Structure 1
Amino acid sequence: MLYETITVTVLPGTQTKVLADLHPLLLSLNDGGTFLGCWVSEIGPLNQIIILRAFVLMDDLAGARQALLESGLFPDRAIGVRDVSYQSWRGLPFLPCVQPGEYGKVYEIRTYHVRPGHLSDVAEGFRKTLPGRTPLSPLLTAMYSLDGPARFAHIWPYGSLDERARIRREAVAAGIWPPRGSAGFLTEDMRSQVVVPVAFSPLR
């Protein structure tokens, strides 16, 4: 499955207005994509709205991206949007496609920059290690970038921030996470962002 993340960075105090404008747009798009999730940032880079969409065909993803870039459908600076960035991803082939549903009250998006030529090594480490990690808490998806620098992203839902901290401590203490040897394939650019689903997000 192919995924697109759209990051809308807004000016302070304008998030509610921008979300009100984005809501009908995201529900009305008919471009081959499936609207999966919309979150607002709580920890990490702030004043951001993160949108997740899924595509089956690369041509559909590219066409939808081009249409949005040309149409200017997204809210503009006049109501608070400072920047809109797009990223394309491919989900790991051994993972199920993301399905809408209620998974958690907070989500963590972890993004790692990968040393050139090592995306497959990082993916293989996940494949081997996930069976021991997911009984503690489910993984929404993991994916690698198709544009820009080589990156690997994984998204984890949790019931609360306290639950996230507890589960991560347990996983590290038990030696089941992170994947062994994976650090050698990554650069020092590793980012974590905690986001909260908005009311109209299909992923909750």
Structure 2
Amino acid sequence: MLSQFPEITATAFSDAAAGSVPPSPPPAKTTVAGKAQSIVKSILHGVSEDDSPFQEVQDTHSKLLARGKYVHELQIHDVKPEAWDDYLGLVGERYTKVAEDPAFKVKLFGSWTTEIGDLDQAVHVWEYNHYPGYTETKALLAQDLAHREFEKKLRPMLRQRKNQIMLEFAFWAGSPPAAHGGVYELRTYQLKPGRLLEWETEWRRGLEARRKHVQPIGAWFSQLGHLNYVHHMWVYPDLQTRKERREAAWQVEGWSQTVYKTVRLIDRMQGFILRANSFSPLK
């Protein structure tokens, strides 16, 4: 479901030849404003060999764009078709116990099955109390005998699995558990490297146009795993209503500009229709 990525004169020598090389100017002091300008330049235009390290840009993304309250893990399971029923029974029972046990300090944001897109696939989103919560939870699960037994039963049912660590966009807080019904749509965008800040700026404006017709469920950008990814999720009563509400958004001032300005930032995009699993907090 998710895929991969990367990217990135002559001087005058007459004075030197004449033996009159002027003294080099003293190095400029690094100011906070100058550093901020360099970081924003890196975010917008990519990182050159002389710019700040990419990790600094990544850290800045999390400070500028993220809500800062949670870390989310996106899990993708490609299930063997013949194991599907056993898989849902096994995962439903175990994930419910993990989510309800306060010792693990993790919440199940939602769990879905793909209806249109990559079939025989399950999508799970977990919510941790930032990175310390993620690290502590994983350590506890690794020592939990019931969870180790669950992993042993799970692996033969899967063709492959993958995950990403994501942060929520500050302008788009995730939906609390609710019974919405209908179909969920997960939109996944692989952005060109260095274009995340531009995407966020335009989408923050465009979201107000979309809100007039449908409420968003959540939006995230990847921090670990496959990078340069943005995901956002919506829910509709049915596919016909989805069609009508998306068409109506084009009549709202500002939406067409959002599409025009963001499409050039994207390398690849995918849309998946999902159905909530019976044990999902978002139904």
TM-score by length of structure 1 reads: 0.89
- The range that moved more, 81-90 or 36-45, is 81-90
Structure 1 residues 11 and 51: alpha-carbon distance in aligned structure 2, compared to 1, 3 A threshold: same
- More strand per residue: 1
Are 2:159 and 1:82 equivalent residues in the alignment? yes
Q: Among residues 193, 199, 209, which one is paired with 1:132 in the alignment?
A: 209
What is the CA distance between 1:127 and its match in structure 2?
1.0
Deviations 1:33-81 (A, max 9, x none): 1112111000001100111111222122244456667947334343x22
CA distance in 2, matches of 1:193, 1:68: 30
Q: Which has the higher helix share?
A: 2
SS in 1 for 2:93: helix
| Structure 1 residues 43 and 86, CA gap change in structure 2 (3 angstroms) | same
CA distance in 2, matches of 1:23, 1:98: 21
Cα separation, 2, equivalents of 1:41 and 1:68 = 27
Cα distance in 1 for partners of 2:142, 2:241 equals 39
Over the matched positions of the two proteins, sequence identity in percent amounts to 22
| Distance across 2 between alignment mates of 1:151 and 1:66 | 27
Question: Which structure 2 residues correspond to residues 10-159 of structure 1 after superposition, within 5 A?
Answer: 10-29=79-98, 30-65=103-138, 71=148, 73-74=150-151, 75-78=153-156, 80-147=157-224, 148-159=226-237
TM-score by length of 2: 0.66
Q: Is the CA contact 2:106–2:128 (under 8 Å) kept in the aligned structure 1?
A: yes
Distance 1:167 1:65, change over 3 A: farther
C-alpha contact (below 8 Å) 1:107/1:155 kept by paired residues: yes
Asked if 1 retains the 8 angstrom alpha-carbon contact of 2:209 and 2:253, the reply is no
| 1:192 matched residue in structure 2 | 271
For residues 65 and 190 of structure 1, do their structure 2 counterparts lie closer, same or farther at Cα, with a shift above 3 Å needed? farther
Residue deviations 1:68-118 (CA, integer Å, cap 9, x gap): 67947334343x222221111100112224310022311000000011111
Name segments (4+ residues, structure 1) moved above 6 Å: none
Residue 73 to residue 87, structure 1, CA distance change in 2 (3 Å): farther
The unaligned stretches of length 5 or more in structure 2 are 1-69
Look up the match of 1:164: 242
Q: What is the aligned length?
A: 202
Cα distance, 1:176 vs structure 2: 4.5
Using CA pairs below 8 Å that are at least 6 residues apart, which structure has the higher relative contact order? Answer: 1
- Unpaired stretches in structure 1, ≥5 consecutive residues: none
